[in-house]
Amino acid sequence: MSDSIRIKLPQERISSLKELQSLTKTQFNNISLLHLAFVHRSFANEDSDRYLSDNERLEFLGDSVLGILAAEFLYQSLPKGKEGKLARLKSKMVSAPAIAKLARSYRFPEFLLLGKGEKEKGESNTNLQADCFEAFLGALYLDQGLESCRKFLNPHFQIMEKGVEDAEETKDYKTILQEFCQKKWKKLPEYSVMKEEGPDHDKEFLVSVICENHFRATGDGKNKRRAEQMAAKSALRFLKIL
């Protein structure tokens, strides 16, 4: 494959890539592939005689690897999760800010090769960091397969999922909806439990919220409060407030 063409690397870069592997707890068979994952287009353009490629193709591949593994993780982690909830969680977990944060945790910006012009814009660029992380995943996939990518990502997914859930818990969608309904229609939204299933230690609630004939929305959660918050959030989205 074209991305695995061996590039003669200086010893300093080889040492740097060994440090990178130590940080990520990976061991690449083809270190040139790992190197290419950290070659930005701006850097390759400045040394076009030596570089026939950059990390954009690996980024394209890594984006798909990230997406399928995030979807798989959520599907298995939340067996009762509805499609809308899974999609919402996945969107936040694979967002540029979330992935850039992971890149920084492994010090990826330090290993990224940028052209002079791009460096002047700042190595702290969130999109650059996220793109680099996806390129790394693409390289890891080509070098070691999907299972290695899964082992690398799943511990992060567990933390990210909890973080997204906790953030939603702290946002009071019910209050936002109540204030909106009072102001617009002089009415309060009404909540009702539509379904309650599962054993006592692992219940799932489905709650609906209505405000006369203006709207109806539903939400689910591990307890009534959580389900009501999710129903209110769904209503706010329907009303185009979120």
Binding region for Mg(2+): 59, 131, 134
Query: Can you read off the two tokens belonging to residue 12?
Result: 């300093």
Is residue 106 within 8 Å of residue 155, measured between CB atoms? no
Burial class (CB in 10 A: 0-12, 13-18, 19+), 40: buried
Q: At what angle do helices 173-185 and 224-238 cross, to 10 degrees?
A: 50
Options 3, 54, 63, 118, the catalytic residue: 63
Which residue, among 125, 146, 129, 107, has the nearest Cα to 16 in the 3D structure? 107
Q: Is 63 an active-site residue? A: yes
Query: Can you read off the two tokens belonging to residue 80?
Result: 């009762």
SS (H, E, C) 41-61: HHHHHHCCCCCCCCCHHHHHH
Alpha-helical runs (H) found in the chain: 11-24, 31-36, 41-46, 56-77, 83-93, 96-105, 108-111, 116-121, 126-144, 146-170, 173-185, 224-238
Is residue 39 within 8 Å of residue 54, measured between CB atoms? yes
C-alpha span between 235 and 228 (Å, rounded): 10
Q: Residue 194 phi/psi, 5° resolution?
A: -90, -35
Binding residues: 59, 131, 134
Q: Is 220 an active-site residue? A: no
Sort strands 204-210 and 190-197 into parallel, antiparallel or unpaired. antiparallel
Options 134, 143, 168, 228, the catalytic residue: 134
Active site residues: 63, 134
